[in-house]
Amino acid sequence: EVQLVESGGGLVQPGRSLKLSCAASGFTFSNYGMHWIRQAPTKGLEWVASISPSGGSTYYRDSVKGRFTISRDNAKSTLYLQMDSLRSEDTATYYCATGGTHYWGQGVMVTVSS
Amino acid sequence: DIQMTQSPSSLPASLGDRVTITCRASQDIGNYLRWFQQKPGKSPRLMIYGATNLANGVPSRFSGSRSGSDYSLTINSLESEDMAIYYCLQHNEYPYTFGAGTKLELK
């Protein structure tokens, strides 16, 4: 059974950093691209970043480029999102999803507030 | 960026109705279009991929179609469990972009 479990969320002050993790199981993690997708409270879905199976290619939405870093450790079957210089507008539930978006994690809440 | 214009934003319907939700792409995206269902407090669920293909476990009353730059999700014979918010997603090019969502609710 495919499982994606996010962790690392919480309350953080503007300008600070947070690192999200997504532990994958039930499939060959190293064969699949992965995504981070977020959803602000009461708002729609927003794609954040993607990474290729090897980790050699990464893609970001403009509003997080230079502040967020997506990475992966295929030996640990884990996806990461390093979030620096956080802003209030980054407040959202963050989901990791497999490349085909067939599988999603349960989401982790990130609140950026002073 | 490719804009996905989704309509309607709200869709009141009765059980047993046939309903259609549409997304219009601002540029050519081929068939790189997916539909998701999201219920309150839950993660999105993939319903349709490749514009017309039913994802695993999705009931056959759901279907996807394409006419030019218009992509549609149709639900035949609406059931209570179908009440949710539906989103389209284009994944033809980065940045991937979602439609704004359609809230399907009981009339």
Query: 10 Å Cβ neighbour count for A7?
Result: 13
Is residue A83's pLDDT more than 90? yes
A45: nearest CB among B45, B91, B98: B98
Which tokens is B7 given? Answer: 């309509």
Rounded-to-integer distance, Cα B39 and Cα B48, Å: 16
pLDDT in tens, A37-64: 999 999 999 999 999 999 999 999 999 9
Report pLDDT for A76: 98
Task: Give residue B31's region: left, alpha or beta (phi > 0; psi -120 to 50).
Answer: alpha
Closest chain B residue by Cα to residue A104: B43
Task: Check whether the bond before A53 is cis (ω within 30° of 0).
Answer: no
Rounded-to-integer distance, Cα B96 and Cα B32, Å: 10
pLDDT in tens, B7-30: 999 999 999 999 999 999 999 999
B95:A47 CB<8 A: yes
Closest chain A residue by Cα to residue B34: A101
A50:B36 CB<8 A: no
Task: For residue B56, give the amino acid letter.
Answer: N
B101: nearest CB among A37, A44, A95: A44
A44: nearest CB among B95, B96, B100: B100
Report pLDDT for B4: 98
Instruction: Report residues of chain B scoring pLDDT below 50.
Output: none
Which tokens is A56 given? Answer: 């050699």
pLDDT in tens, A3-27: 999 999 999 999 999 999 999 999 9
Which tokens is A46 given? Answer: 């927003």
CA distance A9 to chain B (A): 16
Report pLDDT for A99: 87
B43:A101 CB<8 A: no
Could you tell me which residues come within 8 angstroms of residue B60 by beta carbon, excluding any fewer than 6 positions away?
A: B54
